[in-house]
Chains A and B, each alone.
Chain A
Amino acid sequence: MPEPTPAAQGLRGSATGRTVHAARVRGRVGHAAFWIVIWALGLTGLLYLLLPTLIIVFASLTAGEYIAFPPQGLSLRWFVRLWELPEVRVSAWRSLLVALGASAVSIGLGVAAAFPLVRSSFRGREALNAFLMSPLILPSLVYGLAALMFVSAVGIPLSIPVLVLSHVAIIVPYVIRTTAASLVLLDPDLEEAARSLGANTWQTFLRVILPNLLPGIATGGAFAFISSFDNLTVSLFLAGPRVETLPIRLFAMINFDLDPAAAAISAVLVVVAFAVVLLAHWALGLSRIVRL
């Protein structure tokens, strides 16, 4: 119970003083209770968000033959073991290739599209923006099914390029959005100034516009990369048995049994995600990303 303030002590004795004092104490207890509840729920939420990441990294460091709590000793043997599993290595390279290809194409399409969406006003600009963002809203499982129907109707055999293009369709909005957000902050007079000082169009673009947009493009590109690299739902429909990606491999491994090697792959993916968040923080700042 908090000590009464000198003012309250001075008033003690009179009836009004006692009521005021009681109300103050009640107010302070209520205040403390309110913040205890808020902190308890908030910290629970924070721990809840963090727990799976911590657990999977911890589980991958086990020295035992299976995943259990508490783990039987710590070691890096399961990370070493990953290199001895050829199907993991092959699928990891394939996923890397697909993700690099898909994010490169997305950057090309997305950066170009961001310019008119920000810098010019034309009829239907808002509608076009909504259209270009719509892949973010559509469930990727539904898109996977639709893309499979499309690809088989056209008669293209399932292959890596098909997978790359389908990933582009769902990741290009990230690049458009982050590039557009950087472009909004770039003063058009800067381009005007560069040109009036004698720079030609390409010089203006490469030396003035691009360096200023680079943080936005890099963040969007990193988000696009990791969305493609981690994608399971679209790939499940389009990869087929011959074009297995790392998430499909991991999905199959986990459904088979609780292999610590699967935990080691997961830990690697967590580290990649960590790197992307760090890059985003360094390039744009996390508080700006929230507002995207």
Chain B
Amino acid sequence: MESRDQGLTLSDGRGTLRRQAGWSRHLRLWQLVLPASLFLGMYFVVPLGMLFWWSVRVPGVSGLTLVNFQRLLTDAFFLETLWLSVRLSLEVTVVTLVLGFPLAYLYTRLGPLWRVSILFITLLPLLTSAVVRSFAWIVILGKLGLVNAALMGSGLVEQPVKLLFTLDGVRIAMAQVQLPFMLLPLINAMEQLDPSLERAAVSLGASQARAFFRVTVPLSAPGVVAGAILSFALTISAFITPAMVGGGSFTVMPTLIYQSAIVTLDWSTASTTAIILLVVALLVVWGGMAVARRYRYGPSRA
């Protein structure tokens, strides 16, 4: 703060002095990032370094080793867990895209009141605790829940359908939890498109559907990629919803990390699983960004 004061008082709004003052002010202003950077360096980077350290060490063996990774990546149960996590995240991403894209499109075509309502309904679940949202899905999907009350009340089924504590139940709940993360980047990308592009396509003879798929969808590709990356990365690392709605009927990567760390106190397995999770998520982010780059330059060249 003190150094910034000196910088500010130097400038009096005249020519060279002002430029000099601005320069010296900027020279000192950067120090204001130090507290936050040092804090994160200490309390964020160092712990992550320790996590990595735990994954490449084995008690009784000196030096670094990949034994933990070798052990997990050849273990059938672990590979099954990893594959289930990846599959679940892909499925959830597809569902959020199918429901999110039309909603984001409607957002760009509707008036201000609709827009604010859509944003409100999108942000409210985002800021509601994941524990609360998962609990709500337990209430909805349970034996005495809304879905079964409706199905049995209408006479469609005799016995309650088992949705709670199944993978299907987790798919349904997860897609709702991730939908806002798909919607926000989509809305952001589609808002920047000029609606007259689509109108031009229609006036030149394309049907509304054709104009939508050939003009709006390709131009929204950056938003789709951003939303898909977010949705995938957040689903594969989600712990609360699979743990609560799945109820231990299956294991995904985050539940494995939690069980190893807290229940069996096996920090090597926990940290190695965490590193593998991060690598998978990073690969998807990296791959998605490569796709986004192709889309940005591809169609415009054609």
Contacts and interface: CB of A to CB of B under 8 A. Distances in A.
Contacts of A50: 121, 124
A212 interface: no
B208 A52 contact: no
Nearest to A44: B99
Contacts of B271: 145, 149
Interface in B28-44: 29-33, 35-37, 39-40, 43-44
Nearest to B140: A55
Contacts, number: 281
A67 B139 contact: yes
Contacts of B48: 138, 143, 146
Contacts of A142: 51, 237, 257, 274, 277-278
B32 A52 contact: no
A109 interface: yes
Interface stretch (A11-19, A31-39, A73-81): A31-39
A69 B125 contact: no
Contact of A38 (B106, B137, B175): B106
User: For the complex, would chain B's binding face be called helix, strand, loop or mixed by DSSP majority?
Assistant: helix
Contacts of B100: 45
Interface in B84-140: 98-103, 105-106, 115-116, 118-125, 127-133, 135-140
Contacts of B183: 45
A30 B8 contact: no
Contacts of A101: none
Interface residues of A, number: 100
Interface string A225-237: 0100010110011
A51 interface: yes
B188 interface: yes
A120 B140 contact: no
Interface string B1-36: 000110011011100000000000110011111011
Contacts of A223: 127
B13 A165 contact: no
Contacts of B135: 56, 250, 254, 262-263, 266
A53 B44 contact: no
A27 interface: yes
B72 interface: no
Interface of B: 4-5, 8-9, 11-13, 25-26, 29-33, 35-37, 39-40, 43-44, 46-48, 50-51, 54, 98-103, 105-106, 115-116, 118-125, 127-133, 135-140, 142, 144-146, 149, 175-176, 179-180, 183-184, 187-188, 191, 207-209, 212, 233-234, 237, 239-240, 244, 254, 257-258, 261-262, 267, 270-271, 274, 277-278, 281
Given A41-B99, A134-B40, A254-B131, 8 more contacts: A42-B106, A46-B103, A145-B271, A266-B136, A270-B124, A277-B120, A277-B124, A280-B123
